[in-house]
Structure 1
Amino acid sequence: MLSELFPQFLEQKYGYFHCKDCKTRWESAYVWCISGSNKVYFKQLCRKCQKGFNPYRVEAIQCQTCFKTRCSCPQKKRHIDLTRPHRQELCGRCKGKRLSCDNTYSFKYIV
């Protein structure tokens, strides 16, 4: 496999999800993509039917006012509240993996 020869980095991004079975929609700031792309590496489970999904849309995590990753804008819009609780039991990266999203200290990880 190429990833064994050439390590790839993961970037944390913001994703929009939709379960077509039970019509549940959710958003998450814990979407992990191959660096430089929107290719999702881990699925998330729907909280109602427990089926795994990739997001239908992925965006960089940034302030929608100043367009920076980290900012000090007084009025913060979505994408920047990374302190919101993370449902580890629904996360493909956290569930049964060696590294959970809550132990993230940097935006990039090697896979």
Structure 2
Amino acid sequence: MFRGRRQRGRGRRPRLERKYGFFGCSSCKGHWESAQVYCVEGTKKVYFKQECKRCNMACNPYRVEDIECPRCGLPVADCKENGGCYDEDDVDEEEEEEDDDDYDERHVDAKKPHRADLCLKCRSGWKCT
């Protein structure tokens, strides 16, 4: 009926925005955090899972937050809008955390490389970095 027209929402990925996520594997009980969580823009709906490095189970984060500027603590969008101090090189990648005491605080290591082998976004051919 509508030949040549593309149906809305089919065949295209939604616009994504980068977030910070807290992960917990239901299989082996491992925990980690990542600044490479990609959500549908304007939501906290995760588009790509990450694999647990212990048991290779694909996991969604149990909590997702905006990425904060490490210098001023504001969400990155607010920092950039105000002509702030945010720099992409300051953002942390991923950190494995074994201590169960403090899962409300971020445990970050800016020097730790992104694990593309565990990232389903990277493995789909749509690289994070």
TM-score, normalised by the number of residues in structure 1: 0.73
Secondary structure in structure 1 of the residue aligned to 2:17: strand
Q: Over alpha carbons, which structure has the higher Rg?
A: 2
Unaligned runs of at least 5 residues, structure 1: 74-78, 103-111
Give, in whole Å, the separation in 2 of the partners of 1:12 and 1:23: 25
Task: State the partner residue of 2:126.
Answer: 99
Aligned partner (choices 28, 45, 70) of residue 51 of structure 2: 45
Q: Structure 1: which 4+ aligned runs deviate by more than 3 Å? A: 70-73
Task: State the partner residue of 1:14.
Answer: 20
Query: Mean Cα displacement is larger for which, 83-92 or 35-44?
Result: 83-92
TM-score, normalised by the number of residues in structure 2: 0.64
Note the alpha carbon deviations across 1:81-109, whole angstroms, 9 max, x for none: 355410000001011x222101xxxxxxx
State the number of aligned residues.
Answer: 96
Identity %: 42
Alignment of 1:1-111 (within 5 A): 2-4=8-10, 8-63=14-69, 65-69=72-76, 71-72=84-85, 80-82=91-93, 84-95=112-123, 97-102=124-129
Q: What CA RMSD, in Å, does the superposition of the two structures yield over aligned residues?
A: 2.5
- Matching residue's letter, 2:122: C
Higher relative contact order (CA 8 A, sep 6+): 1
Deviation at 1:62, TM superposition (A): 1.2
